[in-house]
A and B are shown apart, each in its own frame.
Chain A
Amino acid sequence: MNLIQIAWRNIRQRGLASTLTMISLALGIGLTVLVLAIYGIIEDAFRRNSSVGYNLIVGAKGSPLQLTLNTVYYLSRPIETIPYDVYLEYLSADERATQAVTYSGEGIVDTSRDGKFAPYMVGGFAIPVALGDYFGPYRVVATTPDFFDLLKHGPSVDQDFTFAQGRNFLLDDATHGAFEAVVGSRVASDMQIKIGDTIDLSHGDPDGHGHGVAFVVVGILNPTGTPNDRAAFVNLEGFYLMEGHARVIEPDADSSAPSGTTAEDDDQVTGEGDLEVEKIALSYAPLPIARRDLTAILLRSDPIFAAKMQKTINKQLRTQAAAPVGEISNLLGVIVDPLRTALLTITVVTCLVAAVGILVSIYNSMSDRKRDIAVMRALGARRDTVLGIILVESLLIALGGAILGWVLAHLALKLAGGFIEERTGVQVGFFTLSPAEGWTIPLVLALATLAGFLPALVGYRTNVAENLNP
């Protein structure tokens, strides 16, 4: 028989106490592994979603973090808006001219020059975004078809947006005009949306009044694991045509004055009951550039240019540029990293408590086992053999508890895998490991070895002659 077999027999001899110690250890370890895994999932979800194919977000001056949370994660209240002509500064002269012609901007937009930041945009793109409406509890993103044509997602930001059903919306569809919509996978499943359904957006918040304008759903996205699964996307042109989405121009207002008029302000100015909701005809006239606002502009450019452009933009009075990856890293550094420290502290404390549990369990058994130890010594077991047997016992209990806890935690993760993937896009399997749990089990084993030393010393020092006597 080797030491492990002898130690295992001793554990079985004290079956109830050993099992209870192991279970309490397993629960502690399982909880720790589960918490660490959930933390890993949260961190992973935040980091992967912070990079969705664009490297800068331009929005109204204020908190860059809020701009990021609002634009990337569709969290928090919508921020202030920026005039549409800010967007034009990222376009070439030709593109500016096209915009001016299409959206009644002649005489307002200087089409003789490239946009101020157009030189930085070589090989990149700018996608306008307007937020503020809701479809049920989900945020509505008014944008252009470029959103799905140009942006990527996935861990390596190399996956195109694909449609489970239907297609991308068009700027001006022959049948639906500017009133086409695409919904994220979760929105489709939760709201039971199918292709051809119409959706009515509520204004300002989930409980806001409906616009009374129907967008036809023409596409349902495949799950992406990004916040886009939880959003509905509508054509920006249709969005502008809805009540309360046009900027109010006061007669004496300077067109270059800072734009801070939000949809809510618009309602307040005109009065809730003064506007009649009208069914907008398919042969719509696009909203003029002068009355257009945006919440954000998503920019993709060469990283070297992006850094320089961000500095330049941030020197301006009205707008700011936020780098979402950097903002999320900062957020993780400020909030999530301390959380990780707290979790790791809890892990260490849990492991310590587990080790103390093993110590108490084995130590309490020592008085009953002195005779057995004396017998083993009389049979020729050396002192260090006895020491080894008790340490191995401690290790086996710790190993059993740690493995059981790990299995329980990962079983729970596997069972919740579908739910987690649906909500976060993070795929979780039975063998998905978080970095911290890699040393949880070694830590428990090390502490168990330390904990085993005290009872092992008692065994080591057991007086053979005294304890052999009947």
Chain B
Amino acid sequence: MNLAWERGFQEMLSLTNVLKTFPQPGGGTLTVLDIASLQLGAGEQVALVGRSGGGKTTLLHAIAGITRIDSGSIVVGGVDLTKLSEAGCDRYRAACIGYVFQTFNLLPGFTALENVRLGMTFASGRHDLPRAKMLLDRVGLGDRLDYRPKQLSVGQQQRVAIARALAGRPKLLLADEPTANVDPANQQAIVDLIRQTCLDEGITLLLVTHTREVSDQFSRVEHLDQINRIFRHLEVQTSS
């Protein structure tokens, strides 16, 4: 695996021997992640592809500090998440991570502007209203500030979610299949928006997608099937 500095980046994300299992209802555990190594450089844009149920969302949750891993280490911006407390993870997430969900996860009782400001509030505690408006303007919703999510189209909702994820000036943007629920006409616009904004603001991007057209636009594409060792075991078992 190439190290970030070898590719001309300072290291932003580093995963080493990450193991994540989930207890099973009938007893025993299910291993979802078993990653030996993965690094992202600061400002780098990486597409992560893989089969459905392959652990992509779990990996993003682990990087965001939402899900705790069983062993190994995840270091983001020099901070080892495995050594952080629950509150420490909250602070880390607020300070470093922007998250774009596949299903947008906008809060229905809040307007577009309030959803963006909410991300800002939790991230920095600041109330930078001009930035919130600027971000919404940038995603093409400058005239929809007071619209509630249900008054917006699916594509517009995803744009609000992107603006919200960027509101807190994150160091790392995690985008979990951001185009999955968007019609083909909007897919490219969404991807362009995310990539360009990250580029403009110097944000590292890890974008999960199962769409070839999207992944092909990235200079670096990581295949979870290859870096997650559980699939190798499965392949070995299948071939034997």
Contacts and interface: CB of A to CB of B under 8 A. Distances in A.
Do A and B pair up? The answer is: yes
Interface of A: 1-2, 6, 9-10, 12-13, 371-372, 375-385, 464-465, 468-470
A418 to B, nearest CB: 45
A1 B120 CA distance: 8
Contact of A470 (B64, B86, B102, B119): B102
Given A1-B114, A383-B87, A464-B66, A375 B61 contact: no
B99 A378 contact: yes
Given A9-B114, A465-B61, A469-B57, A378 B93 contact: yes
B4 interface: no
Interface in B154-174: 164, 168
Contacts of A10: 109
Nearest to A372: B107
B121 A1 contact: yes
Given A13-B108, A381-B90, 14 more contacts: A1-B118, A6-B118, A9-B114, A12-B109, A13-B109, A375-B107, A377-B66, A379-B94, A379-B99, A379-B119, A379-B164, A379-B168, A380-B123, A383-B87
Contacts, number: 77
Contact of B110 (A9, A371, A385): A9
A202 to B, nearest CB: 71
B103 interface: yes
Nearest to B68: A465
A12 B109 CA distance: 7
Nearest to B165: A379
B105 A9 contact: no
A130 to B, nearest CB: 75
A233 B137 CA distance: 84
A19 B123 CA distance: 32
Interface in B45-95: 57, 61, 64, 66-67, 86-87, 90-91, 93-95
A468 B90 contact: no
Top 9 A-B pairs ranked by shortest CB distance? A380-B94, A13-B109, A380-B122, A382-B90, A375-B105, A381-B122, A470-B103, A379-B122, A465-B67
A464 B86 CA distance: 12
Contacts of A383: 86-87, 90
A287 to B, nearest CB: 85
B168 A380 contact: yes
> What is the size category of the interface that chain B forms with chain A?
20 to 34
B127 A1 contact: yes
A1 B95 CA distance: 17
Contacts of A9: 107, 109-110, 114
Given A1-B127, A372-B107, A465-B61, A378 B117 contact: no
A13 B87 CA distance: 28
A380 B93 contact: yes
Given A13-B109, A375-B105, A379-B99, A465 B66 contact: yes
Contacts of A12: 109
15 contacts: A1-B118, A1-B121, A2-B121, A6-B118, A9-B107, A10-B109, A372-B108, A375-B105, A376-B107, A378-B105, A380-B123, A382-B87, A382-B91, A385-B122, A468-B66
Contacts of B66: 377-378, 464-465, 468
Task: Report which residue of B99, B107, B117 has the largest number of chain A beta carbons within 10 angstroms of its beta carbon.
Answer: B107
Nearest to B113: A1
Interface centre among B86, B105, B119, B168 (most CB of A within 10 A): B105
A379 B64 CA distance: 10
Contact of B90 (A1, A6, A377, A465): A377
A383 B93 CA distance: 12
- A371, A381, A385 — most chain B CB neighbours (10 Å): A381
A384 B85 CA distance: 14
Contacts of B109: 9-10, 12-13
A6 B121 CA distance: 10
B190 interface: no
B40 interface: no
Interface string B136-157: 0000000000000000000000
> Which of B93, B97, B114 lies at the interface centre, i.e. has the most chain A CB atoms within 10 A of its CB?
B93
A470 to B, nearest CB: 5
B106 to A, nearest CB: 8
A294 B87 CA distance: 85
A379 B123 contact: yes
Contacts of B97: 380
Nearest to A8: B109
Contacts of A371: 105
A1 B116 CA distance: 10
Contacts of B118: 1, 6, 376, 379
A384 B164 CA distance: 21
B230 to A, nearest CB: 19
A16 B107 CA distance: 18
Contacts of A372: 107-108
B94 to A, nearest CB: 3
Contacts of A469: 57
Q: Which of B86, B102, B119, B164 has the most CB of A within 10 A?
A: B119
A261 to B, nearest CB: 82
A371 B104 CA distance: 12
Contacts of A13: 108-109
Contacts of A464: 61, 66
Contacts of B61: 464-465, 468
A10 B61 CA distance: 26
A48 to B, nearest CB: 53
Contacts of B102: 470
Contacts of A381: 90, 94, 122
Nearest to B164: A379
Given A468-B101, A470-B103, A376 B122 contact: yes
A85 B61 CA distance: 102
Interface in B194-229: none
Contacts of B123: 379-380
Contacts of A378: 64, 66, 93, 99, 101, 105
A372 B91 CA distance: 19
A112 B67 CA distance: 108
